[in-house]
Amino acid sequence: MTITITTPLYYVNDKPHLGSTYTTIACDAFARYKKLNGNNVVFITGVDEHGQKIERTAKANNISPSDHCSKIASQYEMLWKKWSISNDKFIRTTSSQHKTLVEKFFHRVDQNGDIRLGRQQGWYCVGCEEYKDDPPGAKDPICSTHKMPLEWRDEENLFFCLSKYQTKIENLISQPNFVQPISRRNEIINFVSKGLKDFSISRVNISWGIPVPGFKGHTFYVWFDALLGYLSGLQTKGEVELDELNNYGWPADVHVIGKDILRFHAVYWPAMLMSAGLDLPHRVFGHGFLTREGNKMGKSLGNVLDPELLLDKYGEDPVRWYLLSDIKFGQDGDFQEKRFIDLTNNDLANTIGNLLNRTSSMSRKWFSNCVPNIHKENENNELKLLASKTISDVINYYEQLSFKEACKAILDLASSSNLYLNDNEPWKLIKQNSERELVSYHLYNVLESCRIVATLIAPVLPNLSRKILNQLGFFDSLQSWEHQLVWGVLEKGQELPEPSPIIPRLE
């Protein structure tokens, strides 16, 4: 079975920001978990390149829309490589295969009687690329998101007959797992309960977009076009018919998105798919926003965190750990630099890193640079029992995209291993020749616990996981959990490399 996971297709009006990086890191962790857990995974990300906002941004910078899009798209691709993002596909909505699929999809929906010609009047935000319902301020309304004046529009548009799908959408969103977390589900239920209205799927007098076949002067509305990127992203070289997409990974297991675009994914998108006779995604997960030191980030405030600079300054492990371990996925989160540094030092450098280094150092010193060779197992081995429970818990947490809870469970195993080491004091026992076997037993347990920690943490911190496993003598890349998440894989007598700090402390 193929598991398809998607990020939003990021709008290329500007370079990548920390919010898009956060979403992509979370998707990457989930995709890595699914792959390690034995699934065939298609992880899709990419960029949304059409619309009036792009057209105006390019004009302001004195370049063509095409050149602007290529420049920003390359920045996304480069940044995801720097962050070790494991995406399988990167879709650009300016690709020829995407254009062809959009036309096929429109033709099918039109044939189904779900397209009508009408007139659209209202206040429009170019930044949001959408009409605003009853904006505050009757004379000169402002977009609450972009703090820019809205524009009055009165034009002929094509409409998708969303109102026809009121009952079907109500039934869909009533399912407990379709929209997650529950707070987002409640938002959507409230929105749909007010009655669905047909929505415009074309714009006129906009050159930068995909022309609507058969309707001169109309280009596809950016949201109708962009959502179809999840389908065109599944295509390989050459065109794939809509009904063949199931062979390439459709439907998606989960669309991970920011909460601000929830309505498009949880209402408009499934209705479009219903019209086209295609399967629906299994889940839409809307996560929260990031602030900095309690304040909204913005260029005008001068407090935007550049993900590339953050990566260069601190490295990927500390940032990935902070974003996924300290912020409950689905809720808003706040980036606090002092807390970020404290968590890196306490969790990664001290609890995990120091545990591994001191245990492997004792093992090398007292057991000829090797893993201690133990001769018998204790059925009441407390670390083995805890590791077994941790494995079960962490898999369940990953499955629910509960990254914070998964990280806490992994860290608890490392903390318990530190306590185990302190309680049993092998540095004292080794002074008694009669206790050498007990020392080897205790050190083996802690080293094996470190291996379990490294294996479980791989989806969140693939780089740190690899470093820990290398220090335990495992140099092959971790491919599957099938034979790794069991106690006793660490081979007795295996040579241990010279220990070194796996993650530096931050000052």
Question: pLDDT for 314-341, tens place per residue?
Answer: 999 999 999 999 999 999 999 999 999 9
Query: Residue 300's pLDDT is what?
Result: 59
pLDDT tens readout for residues 410-435: 999 999 999 999 999 999 999 998 89
Same domain as 282, residue 341: no
At 280, list the tokens.
């629906």
d(CA 228, CA 104): 11
The three-state secondary structure class of 54 is helix
**What average pLDDT score do residues 207-233 get?**
94
Burial (Cβ within 10 Å: 0-12, 13-18, ≥19) of residue 237: exposed
Same domain as 433, residue 356: yes
pLDDT tens readout for residues 348-363: 999 999 999 999 999 9
Instruction: Find the domain containing 126 and state its range.
Output: 2-288
- The three-point CA angle 431-432-436 to 5° equals 95
Same domain as 32, residue 112: yes
Same domain as 418, residue 278: no
Residue 455, in any domain of the structure = yes
Lowest mean pLDDT across 1-5, 344-348, 397-401, 433-437: 433-437
42 bridge partner residues: 4
d(CA 69, CA 58): 8
- Of 228, 258, 288, the last residue of a domain is 288
CATH number for the domain including 199? 3.40.50.620
Q: Using the Cα atoms of residue 109, residue 110, residue 113 and residue 114 in order, give the sign of their dihedral.
A: positive
Tell whether the model's pLDDT for residue 345 goes beyond 80.
yes
257 bridge partner residues: 286
CATH number for the domain including 461? 1.10.730.10
Q: What is the DSSP letter of 478?
A: P
Query: Residue 383's pLDDT is what?
Result: 96
At 307, list the tokens.
């993900």
Q: Do the beta carbons of residue 221 and residue 200 sit within 8 Å?
A: yes
Radius of gyration of the chain (CA): 26
Residue 150, in any domain of the structure = yes
Helix axes 316-325, 462-471, angle to 10 degrees: 120
pLDDT tens readout for residues 289-307: 998 888 887 665 667 789 9
d(CA 151, CA 136): 13
Same domain as 68, residue 202: yes
Same domain as 164, residue 41: yes
Query: Residue 374's pLDDT is what?
Result: 86
Residue 453, in any domain of the structure = yes
Q: Do the beta carbons of residue 223 and residue 129 sit within 8 Å?
A: yes
Same domain as 343, residue 284: no
At 246, list the tokens.
């199931």
Mean pLDDT computed over every residue of the chain: 93
Query: Residue 288's pLDDT is what?
Result: 93
d(CA 1, CA 4): 10
Same domain as 352, residue 270: no
d(CA 36, CA 459): 8
Residue 494, in any domain of the structure = no
Lowest mean pLDDT across 27-41, 127-141, 185-199: 127-141
Residue 313, in any domain of the structure = no
Please give the share of the chain, as a percent, with pLDDT higher than 90. Answer: 81
Query: Residue 107's pLDDT is what?
Result: 97
Same domain as 30, residue 169: yes
Query: Residue 354's pLDDT is what?
Result: 95
At 380, list the tokens.
């009441």
Phi-psi region of 189 (alpha: psi -120 to 50; beta: other; left: phi over 0): alpha
At 243, list the tokens.
């009904």
Query: Residue 294's pLDDT is what?
Result: 83
Q: Do the beta carbons of residue 464 and residue 324 sit within 8 Å?
A: no
Same domain as 341, residue 284: no
H or E stretch including 314? helix 307-314
Tell whether the model's pLDDT for residue 443 goes beyond 80.
yes
Higher pLDDT, 206 or 169: 169
- Of 253, 270, 288, the last residue of a domain is 288
pLDDT tier for residue 137 given thresholds of 50, 70 and 90: low
Residues making up the binding site for Zn(2+): 125, 128, 143, 146
Higher pLDDT, 148 or 221: 221
Cβ within 8 Å of residue 478, ≥6 positions away: 36, 455, 458, 465, 466, 469, 484
Please give the share of the chain, as a percent, with pLDDT higher than 70. Answer: 97
**What average pLDDT score do residues 87-115 get?**
96
pLDDT tier for residue 135 given thresholds of 50, 70 and 90: low
* Pairing relationship of beta strands 284-287 and 202-204 according to DSSP bridges: unpaired
Listing DSSP states for 221-234 in one string gives: -HHHHHHTHHHHTT
Residue 328, in any domain of the structure = no
Phi-psi region of 129 (alpha: psi -120 to 50; beta: other; left: phi over 0): left
Residues making up the binding site: 125, 128, 143, 146
Same domain as 385, residue 270: no
Tell whether the model's pLDDT for residue 468 goes beyond 60.
yes
pTM for the predicted model, two decimal places = 0.93
**What's the structural domain count of the chain?**
2
Residue 498, in any domain of the structure = no
Tell whether the model's pLDDT for residue 479 goes beyond 70.
yes
Tell whether the model's pLDDT for residue 138 goes beyond 70.
no
Lowest mean pLDDT across 41-50, 129-138, 336-345: 129-138
Listing DSSP states for 238-278 in one string gives: S---GGGGGGGTPSPSEEEEEGGGHHIIIIIHHHHHHHHT-
Residue 220, in any domain of the structure = yes
H or E stretch including 404? helix 403-424
pLDDT tens readout for residues 236-275: 766 778 999 999 999 999 999 999 999 999 999 999 999 9
Same domain as 199, residue 120: yes
